[in-house]
């Protein structure tokens, strides 16, 4: 299925259903847990406050990401949190995110750390990809450098996640605030 076919088919879906297109196959996303939403909100709210003043916008859960504006593509994802800089558009998707955040659960880990991570790394504007785990205090941060992608893992409350492309810092205690693991 292409993005154009996918968009047409989900236009007729039930309100509240969220789908992603993965290699041409539509996938209905399950309902997120409260823990998942708490982590996404903890990151998204702070990112929004930090990036708005830089002319960037932060979206939580609703904005799709695809590789290009072409309706012939076969991948369209909805990250948990995404940051885009530049002029505002009226599109229902973006092709130029700077920061991508996925909250990872045991049921989504293979997709999030596999196909989605590889897709996001190929987008030329992406500078940071963050995978925040919902079942333990663990954040994987992938950062684009001149030599390619570098990854690091943070797992203590005192650890700090730094997204230098948008001049943002947050410690894991804030990311996992209100979450009981």
pLDDT in tens, 75-134: 999 999 999 998 888 898 999 999 999 999 998 899 999 999 999 999 999 999 999 999
User: Does residue 1 surpass a pLDDT of 90?
Assistant: yes
Would you tell me how many other CB atoms lie within 10 Å of the CB of residue 80? Answer: 24
Nearest-5° angle of CA 95, CA 97, CA 2? Answer: 30
Task: Please give the share of the chain, as a percent, with pLDDT higher than 70.
Answer: 98
How far is 22 from 2, CA to CA, in rounded Å?
A: 10
Which DSSP state fits 113? I
Average pLDDT over residues 3-14: 86
- In three-state secondary structure terms, 64 is strand
The CATH fold assigned to 33-175 is: tt1808, chain A (3.90.1570)
Alpha helix stretches (DSSP H) within the chain: 3-10, 34-52, 109-111, 117-122, 172-175
How far is 2 from 13, CA to CA, in rounded Å?
A: 17
User: Does residue 16 surpass a pLDDT of 70?
Assistant: no
Element holding 103 (H helix, E strand)? strand 97-104
Structure tokens at 105: 């659960």
- Average pLDDT value over all residues in the chain: 93
Alpha helix stretches (DSSP H) within 3-61: 3-10, 34-52
Average pLDDT over residues 52-63: 89
Looking at residue 97, its pLDDT comes to 97
Average pLDDT over residues 128-145: 97
Average pLDDT over residues 136-159: 96
- In three-state secondary structure terms, 134 is coil
Cβ neighbours of residue 115 closer than 8 Å, sequence gap 6 or more: 22, 23
């Amino acid at each position: 299925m292409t993005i154009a076919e996918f968009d047409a088919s989900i236009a007729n879906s039930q309100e509240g259903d969220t789908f992603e297109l993965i290699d041409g196959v539509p996938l209905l996303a399950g309902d997120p847990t409260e823990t998942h939403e708490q982590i996404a909100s903890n990151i998204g709210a702070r990112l929004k406050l930090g990036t708005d003043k830089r002319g960037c916008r932060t979206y939580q859960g609703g904005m799709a990401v695809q590789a290009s504006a072409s309706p012939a593509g076969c991948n369209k994802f909805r990250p948990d949190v995404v940051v885009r800089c530049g002029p505002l558009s009226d599109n229902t998707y973006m092709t130029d995110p700077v920061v991508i955040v996925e909250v990872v659960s045991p049921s989504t880990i293979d997709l999030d750390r596999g196909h989605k991570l590889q897709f996001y790394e190929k987008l030329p504007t992406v500078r940071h990809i963050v995978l925040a785990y919902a079942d333990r205090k663990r954040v994987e941060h992938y950062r684009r450098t001149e030599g390619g992608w570098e990854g690091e893992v943070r797992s203590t409350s005192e650890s700090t996640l730094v997204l230098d492309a948008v001049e943002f810092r947050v410690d894991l205690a804030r990311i996992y605030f209100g979450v009981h693991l």
